[in-house]
Amino acid sequence: MAVPIAVLDCDLLLYGRGHRTLDRFKLEDVTDEYLVSTYGFPRQFICYLVDLLGATLSRPTQRSRAISPETQILAALGFYTSGSFQTRMGDAIGISQASMSRCVANVTEALVERASQFIHFPKDEATVQTLKEDFYGLAGMPGVLGVVDCTHVAIKAPNAEDLSYVNRKGLHSLNCLMVCDSRGVLLSAETHWPGSLPDCTVLEQAALTSQFETELHKDGWLLGDSSFLLRTWLMTPLHIPETPAEYRYNMAHSATHNVIERTFRTIRSRFRCLDGSKGTLQYSPEKSSHIILACCVLHNISLQHGLDVWSAPAAGHMEQSEEEYEQMESVDSEACRVRQELLLTHFS
């Protein structure tokens, strides 16, 4: 049920006189079913976000009357999960479309500030070992620290002259590089790469590569598809498998790597602002990148809260990859040796 109240002026809501917060919408006034259907998440999850982000969203302004953190979070969740600033949602919580947009910006930045808190690789050895064991249980692929892939999110054209965001399908997009664990929890998310860059170039320039080459464990690797080059820390499929061991390796690799494809489907199904069904993100590349990252943070928080049922594929237009790639073969002899040793040790 909607709460019938008048839509108030944006500037009055954000900067009106009097040192108080507007609390026109109360969580206790509506049912759990209404919260899930309108904002995409249950009451407990929303209350957690209020506790997490409340202090940031209550920052004092020169003009001191502000929308409550609770209302700002509901407005942002409504946009993330529906992909639109529809009047019905603004009416429900008592704010205008302009205020909805301001709330989305505030909540997005608050979530981006906390990205490293919720999206990171495990540090301690016990957790790393558990990570490997969970991956091994999927299809018998040993030593896996994560699965990596890219996905494109459509954005509006930055300007007529900027072709760096035009992907191979002629659409403007951001190419997002992500890594997840066996449950779909994101361990890394770089959401800012221009859509014209192929996946292999994104990885070559990404912070992820520097992180793995300088910091992370030497006794494990990521799994990537054939759009990436084989590296000592990144195992890719064999281009033309010939032996039974090579076929078994490729099958285990594919079954394990499929986790990130399912994760992409879950994210775009849960956050319809990313799936293209309501059109492209109508923001600059930088702001669009922050919205994508904010949704990634919310994805991980939702898994922490047990909202981890794999979603069915959405009917939108966000695709796992916007490019048709040629099979990449590494010239790194050490990487080839590592993969060959893996084949002999575990798949022969």
Per the structure block, which two tokens stand in for 217?
A: 């464990």
Using alpha carbons, select from 185, 187, 188 the residue that is nearest to residue 300. 185
Q: Distance between CA 267 and CA 121 in Å, rounded?
A: 19
List, in order, residues 6 or more apart from 29 with CB less than 8 Å away. Answer: 3
Per-residue model confidence (pLDDT) at position 94: 73
Amino acid at residue number 92: A
Q: Tens digit of pLDDT for each residue in 25-50? A: 677 778 888 888 888 899 999 999 99
Query: How many whole angstroms separate alpha carbon 274 and alpha carbon 32?
Result: 25
Nearest to 178 by CA among 252, 236, 263: 263
Q: CA-CA distance, 163 to 79, in Å (whole number)?
A: 28
Model pLDDT, residue 113: 97
Q: What is the pLDDT of residue 7?
A: 39
Output the DSSP codes for 90-110. HHHHTB-HHHHHHHHHHHHHH
Q: Nearest-CA neighbor of 271 among 122, 126, 81?
A: 81
User: Rounded to 5 degrees, what are φ and ψ at 281?
Assistant: -65, 125
Which secondary structure element, helix H or strand E, spans residue 191, and what is its range?
A: strand 186-194
pLDDT tens for each residue of 103-149:
999 999 999 999 999 999 998 999 999 999 999 999 999 999 999 99
The pLDDT, as a whole number, for residue 167 is: 93
Under 8 Å between Cβ of 238 and 246 = yes
Task: Measure the CA–CA gap between 122 and 218, rounded to whole angstroms.
Answer: 14
Q: Report which residue type is found at 52.
A: L
**How high is the pLDDT of residue 63?**
47
Scanning 215-243, the segments in alpha helix (DSSP H) are none
pLDDT of residue 249: 97
Report the Cα 104 to chain-centroid distance in Å. 16
Which portions of the chain are predicted below pLDDT 50? Answer: 1-22, 62-64, 311-325
Domain boundaries, the chain: 32-57+67-117, 119-283+329-347
Contact 338, 332 (CB under 8 A): no
Residue 86 has a pLDDT of 60
Could you give the angle at the alpha carbon of 115 between the alpha carbons of 114 and 119, nearest 5°? 130
Rounded to 5 degrees, φ, ψ at 210 are: -60, -40
The residue length of the chain stands at 348
Residue of 278, 259, 260, 266 whose CA lies nearest to 316: 278
> Angle at the Cα of 190 (from 101 to 52), degrees rounded to 5?
55
